[in-house]
Amino acid sequence: MSNDNFGISEALKALGIKAENSGSSTGTKWLGSKGELIESYSPVDGKLIGKVSTTTEDQYEEIVKTAEEAFKSWRLIPAPKRGEVVRQIGEELRKYKESLGKLVSYEMGKSYQEGLGEVQEMIDICDFAVGLSRQLHGLTMHSERPNHRMYEQYHPLGIVGIISAFNFPVAVWSWNTMLAWVCGDVCIWKPSEKTPLCSIACQNIITKVFEANNVPEGVSCVVNGDYKIGQLISSDKRIPLVSATGSIRMGKKVGEAVGARLGKSLLELGGNNAIIITENADLEIAITGALFGAVGTCGQRCTSTRRLIIHDSIYEDVKNKLTNAYKQLRIGNPLDEKNHVGPLIDKDAVKMYENALEAVKAQGGSIILEGGVLSGEGYESGCYVKPVIAEASNDLQIVQEETFAPILYLMKYSTIDEAIEMQNGVVQGLSSAIMTTNMREAERFLSHQGSDCGIANVNIGTSGAEIGGAFGGEKETGGGRESGSDAWKVYMRRQTNTLNYGTELPLAQGIKFDF
């Protein structure tokens, strides 16, 4: 069945995607196609979807200057009014949910259900941001000086630079922009060069809302290109905050460049996430959580489950159940809702998958459910691979690394302390989970002696975070927090204010001037 039968052509038309698209925008205006062209091929069928022109340095300069001017007026609009604009964006996203979900699935390769789920996350963060627009609270405190009042308030930062990854081509942008916009900031977005068309679609969707509300040109900017555009953003002193999602290697470069100019960075980097399955686990829940965590998005989530740490008394039982479950997976076109696993993003990712499997064997691990690249009808893109289960010790170099592919490592433990030490024994610290019906084990895992990750779950897997909580990780995952809770504070600057409403000016430490 061709992908047109799944409505791809109609979706592209609805989203305003053309054969060739400008990749540079200041909001409602697209700049001329001056740069080189990025060709976006679908990993689903290997076909060219469309082309996007990259942003030149001159265009980048124009966009930053437009954003600077926009900030001067956008910050003066009351936060609830900015929230109303975001509310309307949420309504537009509801209208285009099906079309945008299909584009996400077709350009990135995740299942259509997951594509719809990603757009739903955008809608949810809009709703969250609307409420937040009336709750950007500061603090009041008592002064030690008579007739004085102290308080804290938050002000918008200015331009927020957003560098996003291919695996969540629209949701991560929305996590940042919706919060930044209600906070009074303006945004410049550099999407992944592997999924550029998703950025075009998002910008087209918000255009009507911005025009209807007379939003200043420059509040929402898009700059497409490779790492060189990311370098411009990271090194630009006019951009006080850079939010970057991607690999640890990329994040270190961004953090170094932003830190060199004493800017602020929000880094959401790699994960090497584990589920501990104890002897007290409900195995039906455990197998379901492990299966989805490991093969969802073909193992290309930063929260994908990479390691299963299993109590030795149930190890063989879990291994057998999981192996049987894997054998029932349907691998194929992600637009077909009967399939469970779609393709990797491109052939470079396939090569990394193959190299990782070779490394497992070379380093002493063993493959218990063989992988391989699929070929033939339906697999013409060359990006479809079989999910793999391997047995390997936690200290193997390949296990310590994050491989963006459906490779799951099984390992044994004897005591809960040993399991937690194994879980924590990697440089990444994003997501973690424990499967247990034992309250003491659960609380031990969640205590300060337990998981060292930014996300720690009990009886759910490592993926599938809700927007209501702050999302992010520790250690080399970067320490950033996006989305819910009080993550909004990173998009603002905090100011302490002291007011003297008396007739005297008492000085610190009792100092007096006689004159």
| Model confidence pLDDT, tens digit, residues 395-420 | 999 999 999 999 999 999 999 999 99
Backbone φ and ψ of 304, nearest 5°: -55, 145
Report residue 149's pLDDT band, with 50, 70 and 90 as the boundaries. very high
The CATH number given to whatever domain includes residue 325 is 3.40.309.10
Q: Which tens digits make up the pLDDT trace of 229-279?
A: 999 999 999 999 999 999 999 999 999 999 999 999 999 999 999 999 999
Predicted confidence (pLDDT) per residue in 190-239, tens digit: 999 999 999 999 999 999 999 999 999 999 999 999 999 999 999 999 99
- Is 508 within the bounds of a domain? no
* Model pLDDT, residue 78: 98
Task: Say what percent of the chain tops pLDDT 90.
Answer: 96
**Residue 330 CA: distances (Å) to CA of 108, 116, 176:** 18, 19, 34
Residue 381 domain boundaries: 273-471
- Give the tens place of pLDDT for each residue, 341-363: 999 999 999 999 999 999 999 99
Phi, psi torsion values for 179, nearest 5 degrees: -70, -45
Would residue 455 count as lying in a domain? yes
Residue 1 reports pLDDT greater than 80: no
> Tokens representing 114?
């997951």
Q: Are residues 186 and 247 in the same domain?
A: yes
- 284 falls in which pLDDT band (50, 70, 90)? very high
- pLDDT surpasses 90 at 506: no
Asked if residue 461 lies in contact with residue 305, where contact means CB atoms within 8 angstroms, the answer is yes
Q: Which of 107, 268, 402, 476 is catalytic?
A: 268
Instruction: Mark whether 348 and 262 lie in a shared domain.
Output: no
CA distance 327 to 333: 18
pLDDT recorded at residue 2: 64
Q: Are residues 12 and 111 in the same domain?
A: yes
Q: Is 268 a catalytic residue?
A: yes
- What integer is the mean pLDDT of 314-339? 97
Confidence band, pLDDT 50/70/90 cuts, at residue 52:
very high
Per-residue model confidence as pLDDT tens digits over 114-147: 999 999 999 999 999 999 999 999 999 999 999 9
Residue 88 lies in a domain: yes
> Is residue 317 domain-shared with residue 344, that is, in the same domain?
yes
Q: Burial letters for 361-398: b for 16+ Cβ neighbours within 10 Å, e otherwise? A: eeeebeeeeebebbeeebbebbbbbbbbbbbbebebeb
Work out the pLDDT band at 56, boundaries 50, 70, 90. very high
Residues 286 and 250 placed together within one structural domain of the fold: no
88 and 177: one domain? yes
| CATH number assigned to the domain comprising residue 82 | 3.40.605.10
Residue 178 has pLDDT above 60, yes or no: yes
Residue 252 lies inside a defined structural domain of this protein: yes
Separation between Cα atoms, residue 499 and residue 170, nearest integer Å: 44
Identity of residue 157:
L
Domain count, the chain: 2
Whole-number CA gyration radius for the chain: 25
Mean pLDDT of the chain: 97
Q: What is the pTM of this model?
A: 0.96
Same-domain status, 319 and 178: no
Residues whose CB is less than 8 angstroms from the CB of residue 374 and which lie 6 or more positions away in sequence, other chains included: 331, 384, 385, 386
Sheet strand arrangement including 264-268: 24-25, 220-223, 186-190, 159-163, 241-245, 264-268
